[in-house]
């Protein structure tokens, strides 16, 4: 296990009778921003949920290790207390919970050193306009996603799983999001950055390519992006990875 913060071994996961993850092997090193790059429907969110331990995402086979400990059987709360958190692709809304309260809850869970006002400013939401707003569906999708990033900043977890943090936020602010991710990374958070966009994966330290429920390649970002572009972007073997042998030879 060495200095891997997260280690996934041969993970299989079935949903409603369909095999979504088919033997995922992944090693994320402490301190890195590691992108998971894959087309829509390849199982990226499923992998994120399995790492967080959400209900209904218990692996059929395989283990998940965090900081050398086997966490495969641990609850969501236990994993969070070990320092893992997840920012959902489509975050939940809450009636009657203010952004301030949400950020405070997040902050209490971790070792965050940012003030919650700073967290909001960093994601481009002026605190005075947002702190007392409710985290309900009157926030736009983009605003809600930014709040989710702010909450992760407030928590400063050991491992942040960010599921498509760019989706729903306008293209112009992609750089800003990446800047936020770098900030949290500099603060000591290892980031698993889930995305289907090459330009996003390029900004990571390393990347892995997920296709058909498997990691087909892990390495330098450029190399992985090239692999994805050449072989997989338009591929039709989502969850039918009959081509993977050929691809693996590359």
Ligand X SMILES: Nc1ncnc2c1ncn2[C@@H]1O[C@H](COP(=O)(O)OP(=O)(O)O)[C@@H](O)[C@H]1O
Q: How far is CA 157 from the centre of its chain?
A: 12
Tell which one of 21, 151, 178, 181 touches other proteins (CB under 8 A).
151
Q: Does 90 bind ligand X (CB under 6 A)?
A: no
Residues 33 and 182 sit within 8 Å (Cβ to Cβ): yes
Residues 151 and 103 sit within 8 Å (Cβ to Cβ): yes
Site string for other proteins, 49-78 (x = CB under 8 A): ---x-xx-------------------xxx-
Q: Does 246 bind ligand X (CB under 6 A)?
A: no
The interface partner of residue 112, options being other proteins, Mg ion, ligand X, none and the CB cut-off 5 to 8 Å by kind, is none
Task: Report the length, in residues, of the chain.
Answer: 250
CB of 29 to other proteins, least distance (A): 22
Tell which one of 6, 11, 34, 38 touches ligand X (CB under 6 A).
38
Q: Does 241 bind ligand X (CB under 6 A)?
A: no
In Å, what is the CA distance from 77 to each residue of 73, 112, 145, 154, 189? Answer: 12, 18, 22, 17, 18
Tell which one of 13, 21, 26, 45 touches Mg ion (CB under 5 A).
45
Q: Using alpha carbons, select from 51, 121, 119 the residue that is nearest to residue 88.
A: 51
Q: How far is CA 170 from the centre of its chain?
A: 19
Contacting positions for ligand X (CB under 6 A): 15-16, 18, 20, 38, 40-46, 239
């Amino acid at each position: 296990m060495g200095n891997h913060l997260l280690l996934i071994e041969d993970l299989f996961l079935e949903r409603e009778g369909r095999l979504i993850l088919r033997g995922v092997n992944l090693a994320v090193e402490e301190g890195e921003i590691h992108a998971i790059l894959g087309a829509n429907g390849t199982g990226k969110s499923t992998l994120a949920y399995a790492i967080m331990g959400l209900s209904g995402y218990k692996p059929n086979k395989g283990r998940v290790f965090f900081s050398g400990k086997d966490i495969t059987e641990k609850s969501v709360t236990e994993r969070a207390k070990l320092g893992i958190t997840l920012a959902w692709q489509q975050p939940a809304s809450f009636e009657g919970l203010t952004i301030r309260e949400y950020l405070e809850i997040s902050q209490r869970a971790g070792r965050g050193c940012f003030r919650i006002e700073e967290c909001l400013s960093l994601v481009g939401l002026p605190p005075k306009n947002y702190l007392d707003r409710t985290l309900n569906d009157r926030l736009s999708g983009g605003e809600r996603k930014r709040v989710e990033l702010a909450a992760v900043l407030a928590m400063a977890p050991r491992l942040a799983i960010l599921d498509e943090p760019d989706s729903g936020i306008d293209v112009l602010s992609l750089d800003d999001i990446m800047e936020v991710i770098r900030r949290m990374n500099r603060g000591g958070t290892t980031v698993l950055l889930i995305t289907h966009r090459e330009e996003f994966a390029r900004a990571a330290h390393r990347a892995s390519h997920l296709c058909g429920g498997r990691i087909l390649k892990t390495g330098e970002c450029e190399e992985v992006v090239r692999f994805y572009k050449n072989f997989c972007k338009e591929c039709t073997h989502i969850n039918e990875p009959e081509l993977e042998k050929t691809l693996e030879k590359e």
